[in-house]
Amino acid sequence: MAGSQFELAPGAPAVIRSDGGTPYCLYRKDRARIAFGGEHLHEHRLTPESPTRRIVATCCNTPMFLDFTKGHWLTLYRDRMPDYVPRLDVRIMTKDAPAGVRFADDIPTYPKYPPIFLIKLLAAWAVMGFRRPRIAW
């Protein structure tokens, strides 16, 4: 798991919660930009051909976001959003949670991707004109 690898770097903050999850927010790529610090960002791929690149701030070994290059969204780590952290709407992919984990809150929880989640992703892509903007810095 990439999150476990990132946590081993010197000075790196925690990425994985005690329940085994990683809290993210998804944003359309056409609504995201690197405001500052781009010179510190570096991409990490699990394999050279992986379409997912994880972006880490090399100054402090902090994972910042994931870019599924074939998709139209960015996956931002919620803990990296100091000014505005949206509420969690749904918990997905819980089939990968460690054995015995119980989720204590009232957020809808799904073992995989629920249909409404996929519909929202498709609707957002349609609004974007089915484009896949490139995120660069």
So where are the chain's domains? Answer: 2-127
Q: What is the pLDDT of residue 98?
A: 86
Strand arrangement, sheet containing 41-44: 24-28, 73-77, 62-68, 52-57, 41-44
DSSP β-bridge partners for residue 53: 67
Over range 51-65, report the average pLDDT. 94
Strand-pair partners of 57? 41, 62
Architecture in CATH of 2-127: Alpha-Beta Complex (3.90)
Is the pTM higher than 0.75? The answer reads yes
Contact 90, 108 (CB under 8 A): yes
How does pLDDT run across 11-30, given as a tens digit for each residue? Answer: 999 888 888 888 889 999 99
CB-based burial of residue 48 (10 Å sphere; 0-12 exposed, 13-18 middle, 19+ buried)? exposed
DSSP state of 131: -
Q: Can you name the residues that pair with 26 across neighbouring β-strands? A: 75
pLDDT tens digit sequence for 30-42:
998 898 999 999 9
